[in-house]
Amino acid sequence: MSTERIRNFCIIAHIDHGKSTLADRLLEKTHTITSREFRHQMLDDMDLERERGITIKASAVALKLVRNGQEYNLNLIDTPGHVDFSYEVSRSLGACEGALLLVDASQGVEAQTVANAYLAMEHNLAIIPVISKIDLPQSRPYDVLTEMEKTLGISPEEAFMVSAKTGAGIDEIFDAIIKHIPPPKDSSDAPLKALIFDSVYDEYRGVIIYLRIFDGSIKVGDEIYMMKTNRSFKVEEVGVFKPKMVAKDGLSAGEVGYCIANIKSIRDVKVGDTVTHARERAAEALPGYRPPIPMVYCGIYPANNADFHLLREALERLSLNDSSFTFEPETSQALGFGFRCGFLGLLHMEIVQERLERESNINIVQTAPNVTYEILKINKEIVKVDNPEKVPPVNEIEEFREPIVRASFVLPTEYLGAIMQLAEARRGKYKGTEYLSEKRAILTYELPLSEIIFDFFDKMKSATRGYGTLDYDFIGYEHADLVKLDILVSGKRVDALSTIVHRKDADMKGRKLVKKLKNEISRHLFEVVLQAAIGSRIIARESIRPIAKNVTAKCYGGDITRKRKLLEKQKEGKKRMKSVGNVEIPQKAFLSVLSVDE
C-alpha cells in the first residue's frame, strides 16, 4: 500500500478519560473485529488491566478504513494514562505521526492531559483534540473547551465532540485522522530502518519484537541486524496486529507490526534499538528513546532462597516487556540474595510485583520502597544512594541531598486550601496558582519526592473527594537535613528495615515503627527487643514478651524451693535459647514502614 494512505496515531489522555472505550469503538466501526469476538476494553488483554480498570501496556492494532472509494491503513496505539506509565506513552509517540488528545467532558483538563499534550508537542505530532463522554448528564463540553484553550492553546474550533459509548462523532474522528495526520514519508527504496518500540517473550517462538518501519521494507527470509546489540537473525515471520497477530508477506515503510526471527536470548533485544538489513545496513541508527529514570527503589527477594535463579529469569522476561524498570543483584543480611529494583512510581512497583507473582508463580518478599538520594562526602565525592544500606558513615557526609519534583495539582477551586495544607505539611514550597475557569485551577508546588511516593496520592484524593489529579516532574536535588533510621531486632540491625527520614520526623517515625513492628512480629519463646536507632543513639524501644509456659503447674502444695528450682531451670534454658534463637520477621513487617501514619 502507498504510504499516502497510511496513518499512524495514538490515543493519549488522563487516566479514566475513555481511551480504551474509544479504541473499542474504532475497532468496531472499521469491522476489525466481529460482534462475536467483541468484548469491552479489547486492547487491554492483561488480567491485571481488566481487574484494576486501567491500561498498563500500550497496545497496537491495524485498522482498515474505506473513505471516498479509497482504502486507508490506520495504525492505532492505545496508551496508559497513569503518571507511572508515562514512559509507555513516550515510546508510543515515537512510533506515530499524530495523536488523539482525549478530554473527559465532565472531568475537564487534568494533570496527565497537560503532561501528555506537551509530550506529543515535543515529538512534533499532529494533535487532534477530542472531547469525550458528551452523553453524560453532567458533561460540560464548552467549559472544557475553554480550559483546553487556556492551558494548551488549542482553539475550540479544532476540537471534536464524541461519545464512544453511543458512537456519536466517531465518523468525524476518522475524517480528521485522514485530513490532519500526515502520512509517513515514502522511503521504501532506502535501506531498512525500523524502530523496536516494544517486545514480548514467547516460550516456543522466542522474542517477538514490535516494529515501526521508517525506511525500507522487511519480509520473511531477510537477514536483519540489531544496531545496538550487534546481533544478526533470519526473519521467520512478520505481520500486523488485528488485534491478534496476523502474518503477512512483508512490512514496508510507514507500517507498524511484529517480527519473529528465532531470537532466543532476551539480552539480544533492546527497546529503542534500530533494526536494519545485515547486508545493506543503514548509515546511522534512529534516535531511539531516552532511558527512563527510576524514581522509586525497593528490594525484591525470593521467599525461598532456592528460587533466586527463577526470580532472575522472571525479572529478565518482565524487563523485556516493560523496559521502564531496572534491576541488579544485591545481598541482604536479613533476606539473603535478591535484587534491587527501580520503578517509575509506587503503582508501577505494585504492578511489577503482581505480574511477577502471577506470570512466574514465585513467592517474593518485598522491602519498603525508597527514593534515590545524593550525598556529598567530605572528600567532595558525590555518590548516589538508592538503598539506605549504602549511606556512608555520618563522619564522612558533608551534605545530604534529596530529589525534588515539581507537582501540578488540577482541582476544583473549593479544595485549594485543603491541598495547600497537605503540601505544606509535606515540606512543599508554593510556586503558583493558575485558574482554568471560575471553578477549576492548577496549583503548583515543589515537593520532596520521598514525601509523595507513599500515601500522598490517597490523601490528595480524600481531600478533594476524588476530583483532584496530580502530575509531577523531577527537577533536581536539594540539600536537606536527613538521617538514616535503623531498626534493631534483638540487638541485630535489620538492613531491609532501614529507611532515610527527615531529622525532625525521625523520633516520631522511630517510635511508631517499633510499635507497628511489635504487632506484626509474633511472640517467641524468648523476649524480642525492638529498637529504633540513629547511628549509635537509640531513640525508641519496644519488647515482645516471650510465650509463657507454666512449669510449676504440676506442683501443688509442698516446699516452695521445688518451684524455685524449676523456675531457675526455665530461666537458664531461655538464656541459652536467646543466644542462639533467630527471630522470624513476616513479609507484612517489611511493608509496615509504609503504613506508619504521618
Q: Is 559 annotated as ligand-binding?
A: no
Task: Look at the domain 3-180 and name its fold.
Answer: Rossmann fold (3.40.50)
Range with the lowest mean pLDDT among 45-59, 217-231, 445-459? 45-59
**pLDDT recorded at residue 256:** 87
* 370 DSSP assignment: B
pLDDT per residue as tens digits for the range 446-503? 999 888 877 787 788 888 887 788 878 888 898 988 888 888 887 788 777 788 888 8
Q: Which amino acid is at 445?
A: Y
pLDDT per residue as tens digits for the range 573-594? 655 545 445 666 666 666 555 5
**pLDDT recorded at residue 485:** 86
More confident residue, 58 or 341: 341
Q: Is 132 annotated as ligand-binding?
A: yes
d(CA 462, CA 3): 50
d(CA 288, CA 282): 14
pLDDT per residue as tens digits for the range 354-372? 888 877 788 888 877 788 8
Is the CATH number of domain 296-366 3.30.70.870? yes
Helix axes 111-122, 86-93, angle to 10 degrees: 30
Q: Name the CATH architecture for the domain at 374-479.
A: 2-Layer Sandwich (3.30)
**pLDDT recorded at residue 143:** 87
Q: How far is CA 364 from CA 88, 308, 338, 359, 560, in A?
A: 26, 10, 10, 13, 52
Range with the lowest mean pLDDT among 283-292, 540-549, 550-559? 550-559
More confident residue, 436 or 553: 436
**pLDDT recorded at residue 598:** 44
Long-range contacts of 538-544 (CB under 8 A, 24+ apart): 538/488, 539/506, 539/507, 539/510, 539/511, 540/507, 540/510, 540/511, 540/513, 540/514, 541/514, 542/514, 542/515, 542/517, 542/518, 543/518, 544/518
pLDDT per residue as tens digits for the range 92-137? 788 888 999 999 888 888 877 888 888 888 888 899 999 988 888 8
**pLDDT recorded at residue 112:** 79
More confident residue, 82 or 506: 506
pLDDT at residue 298 tops 50: yes
pLDDT at residue 303 tops 60: yes
| Class in CATH terms, 193-277 | mainly beta
Query: For residues 533-550, b (16+ Cβ closer than 10 Å) or e, as one string?
Result: bbeeeebbebebeeeeee
Q: What are phi and psi of 186, to 5 degrees?
A: -85, 105
Render 13-40 in DSSP notation, one character per residue: ESTTSSHHHHHHHHHHHTTSS-TTT--S
Equal fold, 3-180 vs 193-277: no
Beta pairing partners, 385: 373
Q: Which amino acid is at 539?
A: I
**pLDDT recorded at residue 592:** 59
Q: How far is CA 142 from CA 19, 48, 145, 171, 573, in A?
A: 20, 35, 5, 21, 79
Domain extents in the chain? 3-180, 193-277, 296-366, 374-479, 505-533+543-591
Q: Is 16 annotated as ligand-binding?
A: yes
Q: Cα 433 vs. chain centroid, distance in angstroms? A: 28
CB 162 within 8 A of CB 132: yes
Q: Is 263 annotated as ligand-binding?
A: no
pLDDT at residue 48 tops 60: no
Q: Is 150 annotated as ligand-binding?
A: no
Is residue 511 within a helix (H) or strand (E), and if so which, with residue range?
Answer: helix 503-520
Average pLDDT over residues 381-406: 85
**pLDDT recorded at residue 597:** 47
Q: What are phi and psi of 166, to 5 degrees?
A: -95, -15
Helix axes 19-29, 170-180, angle to 10 degrees: 90
Q: Is 20 annotated as ligand-binding?
A: yes
| End-to-end Cα spacing for the chain | 60
Average pLDDT score over the chain: 81
Q: Which amino acid is at 520?
A: E
**pLDDT recorded at residue 169:** 84
**pLDDT recorded at residue 446:** 92
* 76 DSSP assignment: E
More confident residue, 367 or 373: 373
More confident residue, 442 or 389: 442
**Coil, strand or helix: which one is 49?**
helix
Average pLDDT over residues 543-568: 69
Report the 3 state secondary structure along 377-446.
Answer: ECCCCEEEECCHHHCCCHHHEEEEEEEEEEEEEEEEHHHHHHHHHHHHHCCCEEEEEEECCCCEEEEEEE
What cell does 493 get?
540491625
CB 503 within 8 A of CB 484: no
Q: How far is CA 454 from CA 236, 428, 437, 591, in A?
A: 46, 15, 31, 11
**pLDDT recorded at residue 420:** 92
**pLDDT recorded at residue 557:** 66
Q: Find where cell 475497532 sits.
A: 27
